[in-house]
Chain A
Amino acid sequence: MEMLYWIEESAIALWVGESLWGYPFLLSLHVVGLAVIVGLTLMLDLRLLGFFEALSAQSFLPLMKFAWAGFAVNAVSGLLLFTSQASYFATHAPFLLKIGLIFVGAVTAGIIQHNLRNFQTKNARALAMVSLVAWGGAIVNGRLIAYF
């Protein structure tokens, strides 16, 4: 807890929380990153579930590098947003759930992409469902942070 208060009082946290544009700017960046990650992941999940089979599932491999770039943008913007209210977020259920679901989503994405590279189709549908639930759940809890 000590450390969380220290984070909140750091110069960067104060800039995020108190400057006119810091917080809104980071939130806007965060939603673009979200759309890139979840959007592309969602498309691959839908493909694995049997939609638009004209497009090969392997086609998505290079695109997923783009999704990971979005992930990096959101890790940085998310971390900066976190600093401004570190002690609050660290004990806030929707936030913790969101982070847990992102972890599940990222691990699942890694497995799905590993399988695609090896032309391994085992459990593809089940993994796509886990991915959909994890990323969808991350969005739900992310939005609920503002309400609960």
Chain B
Amino acid sequence: MEALAQSLEGGAINVWVTSSAWLWPLLEILHFFGLSLLLGALLVIDLRMIGFFRSIDIRATHALLPWVFVGFALNLVTGILFIFGDPLRYAVHAGFQLKMALILIAGVNALWYAWKIHPKMQNWAADEIPPRLAKGVASVSLVVWTGVLLLGRLIPYVSSG
């Protein structure tokens, strides 16, 4: 991992990201916009799927999914640029590694949703109380993403290694 990080240091993207004083803060601002989109859309989808706010048509919450992906894509791109901008720091950072592990769990959880729950949603009523599996997947999603946010904000304060 450290060898890989070493190879990024001084590369074209590394130089570009670190060359101007305003680019890093701009990327951070975009990263904050991305996390707001991602969590905002997921809160609507997941809270309803857990069983709260039953006045909301559960099938319609689905229309918010593209915004989860927009937020995720924005943060994937800006996040990768952070890594290119400071590879040696992230390569050995425990908080960052834990954050990535949580995102991986969120990804597997999302696949589980796409495979097991999404296909059945067409048959649900507007005021459906979702089955236990759906409630579980939605709960895992909210807990894991909250953890990602908490860890992400701790990265500047947790020591490396």
What is A's interface to B at a CB cutoff of 8 Å? 23-24, 27-32, 34-36, 38-43, 46, 51-52, 54-56, 59, 62-63, 66, 136, 139-140, 142-144, 146-147
Contact = CB atoms under 8 A, between A and B. Distances in A.
A129 to B, nearest CB: 16
Given A34-B36, A43-B41, A63 B53 contact: yes
Contacts of A36: 39-40, 43
Contacts, number: 105
How big is the B interface, by class?
35 or more
B44 A43 contact: yes
A52 B63 contact: yes
B60 A28 contact: no
B47 interface: yes
Nearest to B150: A28
B29 interface: yes
Contacts of A27: 153-154, 157
A2 B46 CA distance: 48
B47 A43 contact: no
Given A32-B149, A56-B57, A39 B39 contact: yes
Nearest to B145: A35
A42 B153 contact: no
Given A42-B36, A55-B56, 19 more contacts: A24-B153, A28-B150, A31-B153, A34-B32, A35-B40, A39-B41, A40-B40, A40-B43, A43-B44, A55-B64, A56-B57, A59-B57, A59-B60, A62-B55, A139-B33, A139-B36, A142-B32, A143-B32, A146-B25
A39 B37 contact: yes
A144 to B, nearest CB: 7
B61 interface: yes
Contacts of A39: 35-41, 43
Nearest to B157: A24
A41 B35 CA distance: 13
B25 to A, nearest CB: 5
Contacts of A56: 57, 60
A52 to B, nearest CB: 4
Nearest to A140: B29
Interface string B17-60: 00000000100110011011111110110010000010111011
30 contacts: A24-B154, A24-B157, A27-B153, A28-B149, A28-B154, A29-B150, A31-B32, A32-B149, A35-B35, A35-B40, A35-B149, A39-B35, A39-B39, A40-B43, A42-B36, A42-B40, A43-B40, A43-B44, A54-B57, A54-B63, A55-B44, A55-B60, A55-B61, A59-B60, A62-B55, A63-B53, A139-B32, A139-B33, A139-B36, A143-B28
